[in-house]
Structure 1
């Protein structure tokens, strides 16, 4: 975890020892190093895009490194940035930006240089672009958003009378209506109609479910400045009681870890699955009859929990010159070719891609593209974002609510306690520069 770092002095020593400067590129080429954390289907898509970029840019010597997902990746990236000897460009989860010391571990983008390659702020949803800025300086450029979505088995849902004439899920509005749709699917399968991740080591699914439903109520987790808890107890309890209702009434599988939840839906045992959209490749490869939709509006809006992959420029001492220009050219190219990235289920953040015929023909990946305007990222604090302490600690708390080992009231009290502990813990990076 980022929170385990003792301080920036340790970063600098480790970075100097483990991230030495590279040797020169081939004659006439500009060396461009890129670090990312994409594996599985995402990794295959990324590799194909990198190969295409390299083929079109023979003057750039692209060196891509795939590092271990989660905390190990961010540890290494932080060490490299602290030592000023980082790669030219890297991937970062956007919700982690506030905790990654922009101005100290990250360098700012040159927006004029990015514009020379055809990419400007107007090409992105306003809120996502703003999340990449700190104090008006752009430190991250979003590649996509990867939201919580609703998978549905088209055979099960057709038999349950839940599909329209085009074979799509009929609109569902309200918590009771969703419960009834799930119940109808369960009557077809002879068991729970819904599956989601509810438990497991470092479980995050329960947090993502809570945050989706709580965001729909309009509730806030923290104050805008990220310094105090702002939970609306009434709204939070409404959500937590609903989550417990789903499992207690047998509508949702009560005990399923992440891989178990993926397998249960793959086996056709449920009609619905709440998860991130990245499992689309899994199900396309199995031939499962399924489609996907945005999470229904259960509590007032159609907001949904999400994070975003983004590009950042890790801090380099003396950043500039041909390598920095290559980094900007690379980011722009990846964005303007992000229809290929969308195959893995992520919704491209580069808005022109959403209108490309090749993307619109991509089913079910384009079925939930409208969610781009209603995704909810974590508060802008150092302990938030994918694989963060926030996700894991609150995931464990809300897992207890789903499985019945905690009451909703106990879950809320414990969530408040853990949030306060995180707020009272200083950021390992201190303030931004």
Structure 2
């Protein structure tokens, strides 16, 4: 399961704190500087824990073995708000690590040009990585002011898990054991009902509540995006929410609860437990739980969330590599950072084992990735992922996801009507739009 989510107060407080501390020296944030004689120091900060952390550690070991001339100093920091606060402080002080990981949706809030340095695309190309190797939309989201500040490693979308034994009994699988595709809300609901009849209970499992829950946000943002509507203007400064389409989605979410298709009061841990124990034919969640179900020997597979409201778009984020601001960036350390990023991208088949879809397109064609089941079953979703709106307060572990996740949670649990949820969501979104970016603007 994903790391613990920060509280709303902690999210907003840490954002403000990072802005206030931006002028301070970040010497205390830098990794240890002891470098083996004759080696190039390469400091790398990331937030991967759990199964992701194990996979990343193995990749770093392989990199180090093949690069004995590099002194790799990797640091795993606390996921979410604490990580981003420390990264911002390090960049503000100009004494940051050579390379770090950033959710690409957090880029607008990281004042590219001040807290981050741009990549040298010519240097990256010397190591065999170019713009043509990535989906255009993911590459574009890594840009600011005409420069490239983030290089995508993966995309991690929500997907549809399905219990193969339950779905087979319900007649929902084809001859190859894959889920028969559905289109539109009626067909999807019919499949949920069929699975529910097999188990004698709700056929679909979703996260509906919990401290700082974001599952309801992910589901809303997926379904709303499928309608083709937007939430914010392209520059992230103005609300463009389509009330009619938003209400249609919220009414659908409420119907799932009212008609017993989901358990209305299920936190994240309970949702994973319910599906893992066979108490759900379907499970909507991020693809990162694949290792949990494989380890628990659950009879399951995975596929893209179907077209319910007019397209196959799904909510996602993207782990990306960034170059935190260094006052004197350049030289061997900077070149090592570019080569390091290129090496990890070219070896991202290993990274895909944890469920993430590699953003480096050549990886998607490698036989060892195509043979990886069920991880390769939903790879086509990379062309239909929809990231959070482009605003400083959006992205993973952000105020937007936590604020609106709490609102939409009430639609599932019955504490809010769809109309009330829409009005409250618009009010909270406007409050966020009216709040100045504590990180400052792009240089």
- Which residue number corresponds to residue 400 of structure 2? 390
CA–CA distance in 1 between the matches of 2:232 and 2:20?
Answer: 30
- Which residue number corresponds to residue 3 of structure 2? none
1:13 aligns with 2:41: no
SS at match of 2:232: coil
- Structure 2: any 5+ residue segments left out of the alignment? 1-10
Instruction: Provide Cα deviations, 1:342-395, integer angstroms capped at 9, x if missing partner.
Output: 000000000000000000000000000000000000111100000000000000
Q: Show the 5 A alignment for 1:109-124.
A: 109-124=119-134
Q: CA deviation at 1:7?
A: 6.1
| Cα 1:284/1:388, change in 2 over 3 Å | same
1:213 aligns with 2:223: yes
CA–CA distance in 2 between the matches of 1:7 and 1:373?
Answer: 34
- Which residue number corresponds to residue 45 of structure 1? 55
Match of 1:344 among 335, 339, 354: 354
- Which residue number corresponds to residue 162 of structure 1? 172
Question: For the Cα contact (< 8 Å) 1:8–1:82, is it kept in 2?
Answer: no
Match of 1:63 among 73, 83, 105: 73
- Which residue number corresponds to residue 34 of structure 1? 44
Question: Could you tell me the TM-score, scaled by structure 2's length?
Answer: 0.96
Match of 1:85 among 85, 95, 100: 95
- Which residue number corresponds to residue 418 of structure 1? 428
CA–CA distance in 2 between the matches of 1:270 and 1:22?
Answer: 48
- Structure 1: any 5+ residue segments left out of the alignment? none
SS at match of 2:439: coil
- Which residue number corresponds to residue 163 of structure 2? 153
- Which residue number corresponds to residue 375 of structure 1? 385
| Cα 1:14/1:274, change in 2 over 3 Å | farther
Count how many residue pairs are aligned between Structure 1 and Structure 2: 432
- Which residue number corresponds to residue 98 of structure 1? 108
CA–CA distance in 2 between the matches of 1:23 and 1:81?
Answer: 16
Question: For the Cα contact (< 8 Å) 1:2–1:74, is it kept in 2?
Answer: no
CA–CA distance in 2 between the matches of 1:363 and 1:431?
Answer: 43
CA–CA distance in 2 between the matches of 1:387 and 1:432?
Answer: 21
- Which residue number corresponds to residue 135 of structure 1? 145
Q: CA deviation at 1:141?
A: 0.1
CA–CA distance in 2 between the matches of 1:242 and 1:423?
Answer: 27
- Which residue number corresponds to residue 8 of structure 2? none
Q: CA deviation at 1:19?
A: 2.3
User: How large is the RMSD of aligned CA atoms in angstroms?
Assistant: 1.0
| Cα 1:105/1:116, change in 2 over 3 Å | same
Q: CA deviation at 1:47?
A: 0.3
Q: CA deviation at 1:253?
A: 1.4
Q: CA deviation at 1:2?
A: 5.7
Q: CA deviation at 1:130?
A: 0.6
SS at match of 2:101: strand
Q: CA deviation at 1:252?
A: 1.1
